[in-house]
Chain A
């Protein structure tokens, strides 16, 4: 089946109840009820990093982590329980702490839910575990080892979790591997009040998301956790950015909201025709890398090294 030309996207920005998975599933259920009722069905729903527990768990991460299959079943059941949910399939992206057979990750899953079946299309495990300052992820979690773009009914997509996306190379590799849409579940504690109007950490996010969208001609969907955890306030600021770098819709830093946007995937071709930087990169990257380390090409430039 050819990829759909356009899709309707919802981004759920909310504050989870700390460590209370059942309460947070119930919250998601009530938002699902709202979304399942929409006149035009949503195709893709995105929730933030650590959406079922809150972000700062320390040692409690081992008590609150989910096995992906178990979580997928719970989410699929929750979605199907809502009136109107059976009209069309929906794809769901959600960040969670994962128990993978006794190894724990900060993960995001991409789940496709049909009328009676569901399928985990992809699990991304956070690679850049924030372990500095207020962050201590690597003390409790294992690092993901792979950045993959994967095929969905909307074309190829890649997931990055929070700090993954602060490294420009992550977005670049995702785009080179064919991702046309970058989805970023995140939990970003706000800091920096010196600039006017917005927190410095929020401004940084906005800048990097827009720059990735423009440079690679991709859609970028950012889902930010909201609310305070022990004095650290997460900055929400969820957003949908188109391949021209325009922010189609964005949320405030504070508060729970749903963002809704209809995105036209054919914009990608228009944007890339206007600014073909990704094509240029495919052409030039082998030269950029070859003098230093030919082996570094492996997996980076697929038309050169398959």
Chain B
């Protein structure tokens, strides 16, 4: 007699599913705690790009603080895609929150006229950093806290401008992979055209994130998830990824640890800040 054999399923790629309703409730509580309870600043100011990350953050802030307390700032450069402005407007319209459009072209070009040989990467970095100058100044003007919009995928891949996109003091989505941000966006009711469009930094013409990165977000997120849990590369490949993809993601992560830290400070004492002298951020 032979018995039926029940095989354990083969190793599969992680689904990265989140309970979006539960995560939303959690992130609303986080935003209220950081802005209202801890800082007594019940207003947020957000750089609204027209992409899904900033849209999700705007929706979360509107739920946490009320839409009237969420200031959305659009900051186009003269080469930015007109679609970005339109997409951002759909978010503003959906939320009914106060908004403003501040062109950064004059500020960016005011500097770059002295650096005519600057290539696309340098120009993009100047735009990103100029946007943060505007965002923090609007924060001071409006009495509103800048809220960050960087997701975990771009943070892990180092796909952001250091001390620009990552500079707001509070970020509700920085521990969510891009594919999880999409899930959250659907749950929150972010306009479909914003969720469905190809993600882009919109710093150069016809730029898309996935072309820049050389991998789709879905694949990158699954690989990153396994890497962060500590699985070695062969075990990740065994789950159905190509060696090329795994190497690509690993190289990105390994070359950008510095972007996820504060500046390196020479230590000379027994009281070096954040080395010996340790106090939590909310103390």
Query: Interface residues, chain A, CB within 8 Å of chain B?
Result: 18-19, 54, 56-60, 190, 193-199, 227-231, 233, 254
Q: How far is the CB of A159 from chain B (nearest CB, A)?
A: 26
Chain A residue numbers with a CB within 8 Å of B281 are: 230
Which residues of chain B from 1 to 45 have any CB-CB distance to chain A below 8 Å in the complex?
A: 15-19, 22-23, 25-26, 29-30, 33-34
Q: Is B283 a contact of A195 with CB atoms below 8 Å?
A: no
Query: Interface residues, chain B, CB within 8 Å of chain A?
Result: 15-19, 22-23, 25-26, 29-30, 33-34, 277-283
Contact sample, A vs B, 11 pairs, CB 8 Å cutoff? A18-B283, A58-B278, A194-B18, A194-B19, A196-B22, A197-B22, A229-B280, A230-B281, A233-B26, A254-B25, A254-B26
Q: Is A228 a contact of B280 with CB atoms below 8 Å?
A: no
Q: Is the interface of B mostly helix, strand, loop or mixed?
A: loop
Contact residue among B15, B22, B282, B283 (Cβ-Cβ distance under 8 Å from A199): B22
Chain A, residue nearest B174 (CB): A231
Q: Is B283 a contact of A60 with CB atoms below 8 Å?
A: yes
Q: Is B280 a contact of A60 with CB atoms below 8 Å?
A: yes
Query: When A58-B279, A58-B280, A59-B277 are in contact, do A194 and B17 touch as well, CB less than 8 Å?
Result: yes
Q: How far is the CB of A22 from chain B (nearest CB, A)?
A: 15
A60 and B282 CA atoms in complex are apart in Å by 11
A274 and B15 CA atoms in complex are apart in Å by 42
Contact residue among B29, B277, B283 (Cβ-Cβ distance under 8 Å from A233): B29
Q: Is A193 a contact of B19 with CB atoms below 8 Å?
A: yes
Q: Is B278 a contact of A59 with CB atoms below 8 Å?
A: yes
A230 and B283 CA atoms in complex are apart in Å by 9
Chain B residue numbers with a CB within 8 Å of A231 are: 30, 34
A194 and B25 CA atoms in complex are apart in Å by 14
Chain A, residue nearest B16 (CB): A194
Q: Is B34 a contact of A193 with CB atoms below 8 Å?
A: no
A18 and B23 CA atoms in complex are apart in Å by 24
Chain B, residue nearest A229 (CB): B282
Contact residue among A18, A59, A194, A198 (Cβ-Cβ distance under 8 Å from B282): A18
Query: When A193-B19, A197-B19, A198-B22 are in contact, do A56 and B30 touch as well, CB less than 8 Å?
Result: no
